[in-house]
Amino acid sequence: MKIELVFIPSPGVGHIRSTTALAKLLVDSDDRLSVTLIVIPPQFSDKSSSSVYPKSQNRLRYHLLLADRDQSTKLNFISYIESQKPNVKAAVSELVTRSCSRLAGIVVDMFCTSMMDIADELNLPAYIFYTSGASYLGLQFHVQTLYEEKKLDVSELKNSDVKFDVPTLTQPFPANCLPSVMLSKEWFPYVLRRARSLRATKGILVNSVAEMEPQASKFFSDGNGNTPPVYAVGPILDFKTDGDDEKRREILLWLEEQPTSSVVFLCFGSMGGFGEEQTKEIAVALERSGHRFLWSLRSTSPVENMTASPPGEFKNLEEILPEGFLNRTAEIGKIISWAPQVAVLESPAIGAFVTHCGWNSILESLWFGVPTAAWPIYAEQQFNAFQMVEDLCLAADVRKEYRRDSLIEEPEIVTAEEIERGIECAMEQDSEMRKRVMDVRDKLHVALLDGGSSNAALRKFVQDVVENIP
């Protein structure tokens, strides 16, 4: 029997690519299966979908929705996703009538849980592609349980020093590392709704590896917490890098000239920019450390407008960096704006990675065996930083509770001393942390092989999908 799954990714190239990588794994694992991705246009980008996303292939197809830019820019992200439901439903309904395969279910991105309504209306099973880690998934369920069974609202723990147990972690978790949405009275009801939606699915595909998050793996495999089946099918990685080919070649040629494990790489994701004062502190830390460095440096966007206005370039580096810094570090450092992150992490020259702790960045660094120094910014990155530093001991700490988003006041400045300490710890060549990182690297590679844990989880998911066909 030929079967088909519909994937609904969150808007944006990064989510499309990770979803595409998962879809490719699925169709390669079973000849009966085909996948259609319904692509919601980015909310603020002016690029046409057809110029950004891959072309359809055999058993892997894309249905690109049209953008209504005048309307979309007036909405917040949640309202924007809601506004796309009629378009998505029309696309799925058309697929039901025209497909030669049996439609077996809808897989929605973790940020598009409202699309599960479409599955209900069409009497189709709904699944989630969870692009964060299994431990964070456990936190979401636990926060909901605390509220509904113990009447504990974690948004009341803002500015608190309290710690509490999370069943998917081995160490007590500090409230000051909770995501800002969980600490916001305004957004906490949305957090609860999303957790309830996750529980209502037939299953959750998690971009993780059982051996990387053993506590979370045991929690979910033991059937705790009244959750649906959780399939750790990662690492789902996309190794393609867009950008300027000439700049890419220049960066990689520079890295080829550096000694093995000698360069610290600093890069903070698509929203990772800093103001002048914080930039000076980073520069001081780098110069004091004496290490070679590759620094993806971008100027900050307004806190209240981070999503709509991503970071840009500083117009004059000499004006914002310490006097003489560029001349003094010319032989050991390279400052760039855009970074081909995957290609950089793959370079033997990279000895450590100062990162914002986005989940994809964590998986990429572990895949290549690069130790990290954790400096989170927003979303669930504070949780990821705590997990990497304290729970799994796979990262050094810059400041794991740091945050910069529209739900808080202006952040404090992270000092040069904190940054330098994190860099030195991550760059230590014979450390126990580096040995643990290399061990996890090997486990991630084995997990995707035939007989590996992630490969087995993927096959179990397909088996369950077939059994759940209405």
Give CA–CA dist 424/296, Å, rounded: 19
Is 384 within 8 Å of 136 (Cβ atoms)?
A: yes
Catalytic-residue membership of 445: no
User: How far, CA to CA in Å, does 73 sit from each of 43, 136, 190?
Assistant: 6, 30, 21
Two tokens, residue 88: 């998505």
Which residue do the tokens 């100027």 mark? 299
- Asked about 15 being catalytic, the answer comes back as yes
At 26, is the secondary structure helix, strand, or coil? Answer: helix
**110 close to 141: Cβ distance less than 8 angstroms:** no
Q: Which amino acid is at 146?
A: L
d(CA 42, CA 80): 10
Contacts of 359 (CB under 8 A, 6+ apart): 131, 132, 133, 136, 207, 380, 384
The three-class DSSP label of residue 262 is coil
Cis amide prior to 174 (ω within 30 degrees): no
Contacts of residue 316, defined as CB under 8 A and 6 or more positions apart, other chains included, come to none
Residues 395, 370: Cα–Cα separation, whole Å: 10
Q: Are strands 292-296 and 203-206 parallel, antiparallel or unpaired?
A: unpaired
Q: For residue 197, report the phi and psi dihedrals to the nearest 5 degrees.
A: -65, -40
Tokens 């330098």 correspond to 420
CA dihedral 11, 178, 360, 25 (to 10 degrees): -70
Beta strand extents in 125-260 (DSSP E only): 126-130, 163-164, 173-174, 203-206, 230-232
Please name every residue paired with 130 in a beta bridge, in sequence order, or none if there are none.
Answer: 206
Which one of 30, 70, 109, 117 is the catalytic residue? 109
End-to-end CA distance of the chain: 14
Q: Which residue is catalytic, options 15, 142, 291, 356?
A: 15
Longest CA–CA separation in the chain, Å? 69
Which are the catalytic amino acids? 15, 109
